[in-house]
A and B are shown apart, each in its own frame.
Chain A
Amino acid sequence: MGTALQLTDLRRAFDDGVVAVDGVELTVEEGQFVALLGPSGCGKSTLLRLIAGLDAPSGGRVELVGDPQLAYVFQDPHLLPWRTVLRNVALPLELRGVAKPEAAAKAQEALSGVDLAEWGEHYPAQLSGGMRMRVSLARALVTEPRLLLLDEPFGALDELTRLRLDERLRALWRERGLTVLFVTHSISEAVLLSERALVFSPRPARVALDVEIELPPDRGRAVRTSQPFAALTERLAQALEEASA
Chain B
Amino acid sequence: MKRLLPPMVTLLAALLVWEGVVRAFDVGEYLFPAPSVVAQAAADNAGALARGFGLTALGALAGFALSAVVGVALGAALAASRTLERAVFPFTVFLQTVPLVAIAPLLVIWFGYGLRPVIVSAFVVSLFPVIANTLVGLRSVDPALRDLFRLYGASRWDRFFKLELPAALPNVFAGFRVSAGLAVIGAIVGEFFASYAGDDAGLGLLVASWIKQYHTDRAFAAVGLASLLGLLMFGAVNGLSQLLLGRWHASAQER
Name A residues whose Cβ lies closer than 8 Å to a Cβ of B: 49, 52-54, 70-72, 74, 76, 78, 80-82, 91-92, 94-96, 123-125, 143
Name B residues whose Cβ lies closer than 8 Å to a Cβ of A: 142, 144-145, 147-155, 158, 162-163, 166-167, 169, 245, 247-249
* Total A-B residue contacts, Cβ distance less than 8 Å: 52
**A93 CB, min distance to chain B CBs, angstroms:** 9
**B31 CB, min distance to chain A CBs, angstroms:** 53
Inter-chain contact B148/A125, CB cutoff 8 Å: no
- Known contacts A80-B163, A123-B248; decide if A54 and B150 are in contact (CB<8 Å): yes
Inter-chain contact B248/A70, CB cutoff 8 Å: no
Interface of B, helix, strand, loop or mixed by DSSP? helix
Q: Residue B152 contacts which of A78, A96, A124, A125 (CB distance < 8 angstroms)? A: A96
- Known contacts A80-B166, A123-B247; decide if A95 and B154 are in contact (CB<8 Å): yes
9 contacts between A and B (CB under 8 A): A54-B150, A72-B148, A74-B147, A78-B142, A78-B144, A82-B245, A94-B162, A95-B152, A123-B248
Q: Which residues of chain A have C-beta atoms less than 8 A from B154's C-beta?
A: 95
- Known contacts A91-B152, A95-B152, A96-B153; decide if A125 and B248 are in contact (CB<8 Å): yes
Inter-chain contact A82/B248, CB cutoff 8 Å: yes
Rounded to whole angstroms, the CA-CA distance of A96 and B151 in the bound complex is: 11
Q: Which residues of chain B have C-beta atoms less than 8 A from A96's C-beta?
A: 152-153
Closest residue of B by beta carbon distance from A72:
B151
Rounded to whole angstroms, the CA-CA distance of A82 and B145 in the bound complex is: 13
Rounded to whole angstroms, the CA-CA distance of A80 and B169 in the bound complex is: 13
Rounded to whole angstroms, the CA-CA distance of A81 and B145 in the bound complex is: 11
Q: Which residues of chain A have C-beta atoms less than 8 A from B144's C-beta?
A: 74, 76, 78
